[in-house]
Amino acid sequence: MALPEAFIAKYQDLLGNGSGPFFEALAGPIDKGFRLNPLKANQEPVDLSLDNPIAWSKNGYFGQVSGKSIDHTTGLVYSQEPSAQFVAEVVDAKPGERVLDLAAAPGGKSTQLAGQMQGQGLLWTNEIFFGRAKILSENIERFGVRNAIVSSADSKDLAKALPGYFDRVLLDTPCSGEGMFRKDPDAVSYWSEGYPRECADRSEGILDNAVKMLRPGGILVYSTCTFAPEEDEKMIAWLLKEYPEFELLPIDKVAGSGIADGRPEWADGNPDLKKTARLWPQDLPGEGHFVAKLQKSAAAEEVKAPKEQKADKLSAEEASLLESFLAETVPGLPVDLSRLVRFGDRVFLLPEGCPAFGKVKILRAGLCLGTFKKKRFEPDHALALAVYPDEAKQTFAIDDPANWAAYIHGEALTTKADLEKGFVLMTAGGNGVGWAKFVNGQLKNFYPKGLRH
C-alpha cells in the first residue's frame, strides 16, 4: 500500500519518533473479529472458537466469520473489526432507553447496541443513503432485533421529527477513513490533504442535529475511524465551545489494552480532551478509531416530545387471521395487538412508545410479523430470526449438513417427524433460521430466495 506523501509528512510531524511504528503497523496484517449476539437463544457457536476474547468488547472475539456458516446465517455472530467494537461499549445503552444510531450502516454498532438493550426500549437506527440503509435493515433483521426502527433520512429531517427525544445518541460520523487504510486500500485513493477538513465541516452540521435530538441529561458519543485531529480532538473542542451545556465524560480505556488518551495539544489544549480515546494500530490488534463521550446538562431546556405513532386498525377478518396464526405458530411470543402498523400487506409490531414517523422514510418499524395473503397470514423471515425456539409451537432442527445445505438452497425436506400441518420454525445451532410449512410428510421451503445459496 502506497501512502500519500502529504499523509506521511502530516503524521511524521504529529507523531515524531512514534511515526515509525505507526507506518509499520499500517503495512502490517489485518486483525479480524466478531461478536456474539446476546439476543439469540443459544450462545454456543457451531463454527467459531471463543478462545481469543477482545479485551474491550464484552461479546467480542478475534476470528474470521464465514458468511455462509450456520453462526452467521442464524445471526448468532456479527463480523466486526475489533477496534470498532469499542465504540458501542462506550455508548453502554441500557434496557428501556431510547437510543439513536444516527449514521448506522452497515449495522455493526446498531446490532451491538440492540444486544445491550435486550429488546427493551427503542433503538432508532438511521442511514441517509438508501442503498446502505437496506443493508442496515437486513443486518438488524438477521440479528433478530425486535425493537428497532430503521430509517433513511437526512439528520436535519430527523432532528425536526424527534427533538429532545433520545437518552443516548451515537454519531459514528462519515469521515476521511484514515483508520481503515490497512483494511480498505480504496480509502487511500479518496484521501487528499484537504479531505479531513472537508469531512470535519460536514460533521459539524450532523453533530448540530445530533445535539438537538438529545434530551437534557442525555449521553452523546461521537466516533470516527480516522486519525485526523481535524475530525477528532478539534471537533470535540468545537462542540464544547459551540454548546457549553455539554461536558466531556471519562472513558474506561481498559487497563493494558493499548487504548490511549486523546491529544489536547492537537486541538485547543483543553486538558479535558485527554478523556477522549484513541485506538492506534501500533498499540493494539485493530484499526484506527477515535471516541468521545459527552453529557448534556440536565438543566438544558426541554422541548415538547413528539407524538406516538398511531397503530393501524385491522379488519375483523384480518385480526382473526393474525390471532389464529400467532396461536398456531408462535404461541409463546408476546404480541400487543394495539401496536401494529401496516406497510401494504406487511404487518409490523411497533416498539412500545414509538414516536410518530412523520415524513421520515421508514424501512423497518419494529418486528415484521408477516404478510396478509388471500385468506391466510404468512410469517416473515424476520420473525424466524427474532423468536426463540421455545416460543414456537413446532420446530425442526437442520443441523445435519445435508439438511442444512438442502434448506438454504431452497429445497423441500421430507421427514417422518411428528409434526402437525402448518408452519414450522427451522433451527440450526439451537437458533431459528427460517420457516417451512409441513404438509403430508414434506416441509415446504419458505427460506427467502434472495438469501439462498
**Grid coordinates representing 298?**
440536565
* Residues of the chain falling short of pLDDT 50: none
Specify the pairing of strand 166-172 against strand 214-224.
Answer: parallel
107 is in an annotated binding site: yes
* 199: annotated active-site residue: no
Q: Taken in order 206, 164, 349, 345, is the CA torsion positive or negative?
A: negative
313 is in an annotated binding site: no
Neighbouring-strand partners of residue 100:
124, 169
Check: pTM over 0.95? Answer yes or no. yes
pLDDT tens, 106-142? 999 999 999 999 999 999 999 999 999 999 999 999 9
CATH numeric code, 5-296: 3.40.50.150
pLDDT of res. 383: 98
pLDDT tens, 42-85? 999 999 999 999 999 999 999 999 999 999 999 999 999 999 99
Number of Cβ atoms within 10 Å of the Cβ of 286: 27
pLDDT tens, 293-311? 999 999 888 888 899 999 9
pLDDT of res. 71: 98
105 is in an annotated binding site: yes
Domain limits, the chain: 5-296
410 is in an annotated binding site: no
Identify the active-site residue in 175, 225, 354, 368.
Answer: 225
104 is in an annotated binding site: yes
